[in-house]
Amino acid sequence: MASVLPLAGLRETGQSRIWLDTIIKGDCVAALEALPDHSVDAIFADPPYNLQLGGTLHRPDQSVVDAVDDEWDQFASFEVYDAFTRAWLLACRRVLKPTGTLWVIGSYHNIFRVGAILQDLNFWILNDIVWRKTNPMPNFKGRRFQNAHETMIWAAPNAKAKGYTFNYDAMKAANDDVQMRSDWLFPICSGGERLKGEDGKKVHPTQKPEALLARVIMASTKPGDIVLDPFFGSGTTGAVAKRLGRHFVGIEREQAYIDAASERIAAVEPLGKAVLTVMTGKKAEARVAFNVLVETGLVKPGQVLTDARRRWSAIVRADGTVASGGDAGSIHRLGAKVQGLDTCNGWTFWHFDDGKTLRPIDELRSIVRSDLAKMD
Amino acid sequence: MASVLPLAGLRETGQSRIWLDTIIKGDCVAALEALPDHSVDAIFADPPYNLQLGGTLHRPDQSVVDAVDDEWDQFASFEVYDAFTRAWLLACRRVLKPTGTLWVIGSYHNIFRVGAILQDLNFWILNDIVWRKTNPMPNFKGRRFQNAHETMIWAAPNAKAKGYTFNYDAMKAANDDVQMRSDWLFPICSGGERLKGEDGKKVHPTQKPEALLARVIMASTKPGDIVLDPFFGSGTTGAVAKRLGRHFVGIEREQAYIDAASERIAAVEPLGKAVLTVMTGKKAEARVAFNVLVETGLVKPGQVLTDARRRWSAIVRADGTVASGGDAGSIHRLGAKVQGLDTCNGWTFWHFDDGKTLRPIDELRSIVRSDLAKMD
DNA sequence: AACTTGGTTGAATCAGCAA
DNA sequence: TTTGCTGATTCAACCAAGT
């Protein structure tokens, strides 16, 4: 795992997927062109932020702030940065499956340009996510608010994209049974998690916390999916993907980062399958048609169903339709019809009398489902 | 105060400032051109967001969401929206003093375009500020994260601008003596603050909370300063400016909004000078979800939790859910399930073994909370 | 008077599949 | 590509009415 691939001939390998769980050395766009069309399930991109720093920044105690002034973060102008951004985004879209999604993280220096270009390229923004830092760097000059967050954009490859993965139920269950919001709170990467060289200095200036990547990957991919990171850096995406039972592909130009990331990922122990099971809701359950209930005798032809307050009633017919007054149809159609609505979930609308109380027919469906589960 | 000015001849009035504390009726750009150069200290702009909505959206209870589908939010394309944005931003800069600053609020639908154009026009971004909503609208279809914030950009008129107002010490004092961060927590505008017509319906679909404007104005202006709002709407900027001892100028096209704003502002009582020195904001106790413990490593995926008497056990999964036997769910749901109850407080029910004794996971939450106590 | 219950609402780019 | 069917899906706050 985490071997480094030479660039030549990758695309021709087609479905062999020898590039899985590797770091490709090279320029982002060139390396992306070597990968097959529609081959990855998700992309997490942490591109250069194009920080426009003036002189050296000193803390109040006169110590010097170790700023991000690497060569790879220098762009001559917004135009150059925009062209760079368009190029790698287009290359990413070709590689992304139609059902895949793209994440980009940035700060106010670059994220507005990235977001506007995403829209110009007809990507479809699903959310902007705010990473609130528990321990951001203070503003030393006292001339601005403390810059305490970064922004991520989560986007589908086009406006019509359907079927992307969003583990809604897992996110909700993990968040004390309320929807996960667009503002996330995490510490910055520090302490033992922060990669340091033999000189004790940080290996990469903008290493992202694993917790952030973990939520991204848990939310938008399934176990076994492939996650691409075109600006691999210290390999946080790869380390978290491996730990969470996903495959990764990294692209990185600098050998020092590749070395550090390879070593880091090699030490990661994947979690077991049982732990990685993703919480799913009703949507993922086997479909059970109403007539199965009739056929199995859980509901009898001629039986009367009502809504929860007995305002409306319907009679069950042998073919699995229900009838009320002059109307008849599926449990959904008739439920909508009697209420005067466009749609209705008949499973939760119609109830049966168990001798004591009214219970939704959805409970009978659960019985069928649990019977089916035993037959696996 | 809050009289409505006709548009003609304003610019010629020069320094007479008869336009102070008035609402100018007209198109944003045209009205701005009627104001003198370098005449206002701050601008707060809440432009149309260019929402691109599909069909009608229903809540789970089948009620219809009252969407923002007003004519003024309709743009033919991104190009048209961008041209509109460039025009009003340029007009704003001419009117803004060299020492003044500009605020723009938006959502992911438009804020990236606004930010990129600001940079293209050589505005200088000072901060992006996240307004975290305490009570955002849910995501009804479960296909995205709950869109729980909006973004503001705070910018100086050019890269070299010096001497802008930032009341650093007031912000810090108001924030329990730590620097004010770039993420702010406020409820949406509702209840008594929300302007309603005689029909009981909201006057304006996107009225902003006064608390938000109060922090903006307190942070970036001095008493007696002039605050311009080129998209005045229901007049929140004017009402707060007046209350805080600042002057305002509003621009608005629709007479209904002008009427409501005028009446609203007339009823505002300015605060006394002494009161205007320091303001404090209240804080809510941080809510910590279980997955935060997993993400921060206080609880590990695969770790076993039990109840206080070890009668039941559960395994922690990477997505922040817990599993036991064939069941899985949130700590609360699973706790209820294994006990055969309807509800359960998972925080006090589930325990971990610290090597000596069983301790409720609630104690781990306390640890996180004390780390977060410095924040909203 | 204090509390409970039920209804309403908010800047929303909000479904998936099979025929 | 379009149509139609199945059936999944909400949180915090405010307010009015009932207990």
pLDDT at B371: 62
| Alpha helices (H) along chain A | 28-33, 78-95, 111-120, 168-174, 210-220, 236-243, 255-266, 273-276, 290-295, 331-339, 346-349, 362-373
Cβ-defined contact of A182 to B148 (cutoff 8 Å): yes
Instruction: Measure CB to CB from residue B302 to each of A142, A218, A272 and give the nearest one.
Output: A272
A301 touches chain B (CB under 8 A): no
A2 pLDDT exceeds 80? no
User: What is the distance in angstroms measured between the alpha-carbon CA of B374 and the sugar C1' of C10?
Assistant: 29
**Can you give the pLDDT at residue A56?**
78
Position B10 scores a pLDDT of 66
Q: What is the predicted pLDDT for the residue at B284?
A: 38
- How far is the CA of B346 from the CAs of A20, A218, B217, B357, in angstroms? 39, 22, 43, 18
pLDDT 10s digits, A92-104: 999 999 999 999 9
**Bridge partner list, A315:** A304, A323
Point out the least confidently predicted range of A211-215, A296-300, A343-347, B296-300. Answer: B296-300
Facing B145 at nearest CB: one of A129, A132, A145 = A129
- A190–B contact, CB cutoff 8 A: no
Interface contact A168-B317, CB threshold 8 A: no
Residues on chain B touching A126 (C-beta within 8 angstroms) = 143-144
**CA dist., res. A120 & res. A98, Å (int):** 18
Q: Which of A357-366, B82-91, B170-179 has the lowest mean pLDDT?
A: B170-179
Provide the percentage of residues in chain A whose pLDDT is more than 70: 95
Residues in reach of strand D, judged by a CB distance below 7 angstroms, are A 168-169, 172, 177-179, 281-283, 285, 287-290, 329-333, 343-348, 362; B 58-62, 134-142, 146, 187, 190-192
Any CB–CB contact under 8 A between B86 and chain A? Answer: no
| For helices A210-220 and A236-243, angle between their N-to-C axes, nearest 10 degrees | 60
> How many angstroms separate the CA of residue B207 from the nearest CA in chain A?
21
The answer to whether residues B361 and B352 touch, using CB atoms and an 8 Å cutoff, is: yes
Distance to chain B for A164, nearest Cα, Å: 9
Chain A residues with CB under 8 Å of B125 CB are: 108-109
Give the residue-averaged pLDDT of A217-241. Answer: 98
B155: β partners: B102, B125
| Separation CA B160–CA B103 (nearest Å) | 18
CA distance to partner chain A, nearest, from residue B30 (Å) = 27
**Mean pLDDT across the stretch A5-17?**
63
How sure is the predictor about A308, in pLDDT bands with cuts at 50, 70 and 90?
A: confident
pLDDT surpasses 70 at B15: no
Q: Is the pLDDT of residue B98 over 50?
A: yes
Give the nearest chain B residue to A139 (CA atoms).
Answer: B179
Looking at A243-252, A305-314, B5-14, B53-62, which range is the least confident one? B5-14
Residues contacting residue B301 through CB under 8 Å, at least 6 positions apart: A271, A275, A276, B294, B316, B317, B318
Predicted pLDDT at B210: 93
- In this prediction, residues A44-63 reach a mean pLDDT of 83
| Subunit contact A183:B294, Cβ cutoff 8 A | no
Q: CB-CB: which of A183, A218, A281 is closest to B148?
A: A183
pLDDT for B14 beyond 90: no
Tell me the one-letter amino acid at A92: C
CB contact under 8 A, B62 and A344: yes
The rounded percent of chain B whose pLDDT value lies above 90 is: 70
Q: Which nucleotides of C are covered by protein (CB under 7 A)?
A: 8-17
Q: Does B132 touch chain A (CB under 8 A)?
A: yes
Å: A171 CA to C17 C1': 25
Given a cut of 50, is residue B279 above it in pLDDT?
no
- Picking from B184, B212, B330 by the largest number of A CB atoms within 10 A of its own CB, the best residue to mutate is B330
Which residue of chain B has the CA closest to A374?
Answer: B326
Res. B148: pLDDT tops 90: yes
Q: How confident is the model at residue A179 (pLDDT cuts 50, 70, 90)?
A: very high
**For chain B, percent of residues with pLDDT exceeding 70:** 90
Q: Which residue of chain B comes nearest to A131, CA vs CA?
A: B183
- Put simply, whether B239 touches A (Cβ < 8 Å) is no
Q: Which residues of B touch A132 (CB under 8 A)?
A: 130, 183, 375
Closest CA to A216 of A271, A262, A166: A166
Angstrom distance, A358 CA to C5 C1': 21
Q: What's the mean pLDDT in A326-350?
A: 93
In the predicted structure, residue B363 carries a pLDDT above the cut 90: no
**Residue in B127, B147, B330 nearest the CB of A147:** B127
Predicted TM-score (pTM) of this structure: 0.90
| pLDDT of B282 | 34
Chain A residue numbers touching B128 (CB-CB < 8 A): 107-108, 111, 151
- State the nucleotide closest to A176 in CA–C1' terms: D11
Of A128, A148, A244, the CB nearest to B182: A148
Tell me which residues of chain B, numbers 155 to 174, contact chain A at a CB-CB cutoff of 8 Å: 166, 168-169, 171
